[in-house]
């Protein structure tokens, strides 16, 4: 199957999904948007009010700020793929629950598998936890890291800067570093996951 068709098939399944209770309250699920051959994939947290209404990611206030950040470093929003860890809006925009993240995980895995982005930018802690579950965004943001063949670039969520204006400059600097990474002026660190507790207990 060609890649565009494979991606559309995943998105069709997400639009009809009933795997977790969030489907009951949704207006539209939000599979993601962007070209199947995108080099950069952004993963946010979950759809908010406007995303739920339109079925599109990052179209509210945080989305406008994301567009601004991209524009500032000359990255065309139409050339990147944007999605979320969970594809339906949690009531009142509460944090995603573990069971919801688990129910949606297969969709995100398949999107990554089909798109094969060169860089995955994680926006906020729920998205970062996919690659770096035990880290803090405040410590690792702006540092691209390679896990196996995949480069991850953790960043603060743009909505965080709307609540805490001092983070605006931090996000702007991290987007400059993303530009450097994409242009080959910045190398990702090689990340070796910490040994599992069971492995430690062998010693």
Q: Note the residues at the interface with ligand URA (CB under 6 A).
A: 44-48, 51, 57-58, 60, 62-63, 84, 159
C-beta closer to ligand URA: residue 142 or 158: 158
Query: Looking up tokens 């993240």, which residue turns up?
Result: 101
CB of 166 to ligand URA, least distance (A): 20
CB of 51 to ligand URA, least distance (A): 4
The DSSP secondary-structure symbol of 195 reads: P
CB of 66 to ligand URA, least distance (A): 8
Residue nearest to ligand URA (CB): 44
C-beta closer to ligand URA: residue 108 or 191: 108
Cα distance between residue 163 and residue 92, in whole Å: 17
Cα distance between residue 26 and residue 164, in whole Å: 29
Question: Taking a C-beta distance cutoff of 8 angstroms, is the pair 35, 81 a contact?
Answer: yes
Cα distance between residue 52 and residue 94, in whole Å: 14
CB of 103 to ligand URA, least distance (A): 17
C-beta closer to ligand URA: residue 32 or 191: 32
Nearest to 152 by CA among 172, 173, 133: 133
Question: Taking a C-beta distance cutoff of 8 angstroms, is the pair 41, 20 a contact?
Answer: no
C-beta closer to ligand URA: residue 45 or 135: 45
C-beta closer to ligand URA: residue 46 or 119: 46
Cα distance between residue 30 and residue 53, in whole Å: 9
CB of 84 to ligand URA, least distance (A): 5
């Amino acid at each position: 199957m060609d890649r565009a068709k494979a991606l559309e098939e995943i998105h069709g399944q997400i639009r009809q999904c009933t795997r977790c209770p969030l489907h009951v309250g949704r207006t539209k699920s939000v599979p993601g948007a962007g070209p199947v051959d995108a080099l950069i994939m952004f993963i946010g947290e979950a759809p908010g009010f406007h995303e739920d209404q339109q079925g599109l990611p990052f179209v509210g206030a945080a989305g406008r700020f994301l567009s601004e950040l991209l524009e500032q470093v000359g990255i065309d929003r139409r050339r990147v793929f944007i999605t979320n860890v969970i594809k339906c809006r949690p009531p009142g925009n509460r944090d995603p629950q573990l069971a919801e993240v688990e129910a949606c995980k297969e969709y995100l895995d398949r999107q990554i598998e089909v798109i094969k982005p060169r860089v995955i930018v994680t926006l906020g802690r729920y998205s970062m936890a996919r690659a770096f579950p035990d880290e803090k965004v405040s410590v690792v943001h702006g540092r691209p890291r390679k896990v196996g063949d995949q480069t991850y670039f953790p960043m603060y969520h743009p909505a965080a800067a709307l609540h805490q204006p001092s983070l605006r400059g931090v996000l702007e600097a991290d987007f400059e570093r993303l530009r450097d990474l994409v242009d080959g002026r910045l190398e990702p660190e090689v990340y070796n996951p910490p040994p599992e507790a069971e492995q430690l207990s062998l010693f």
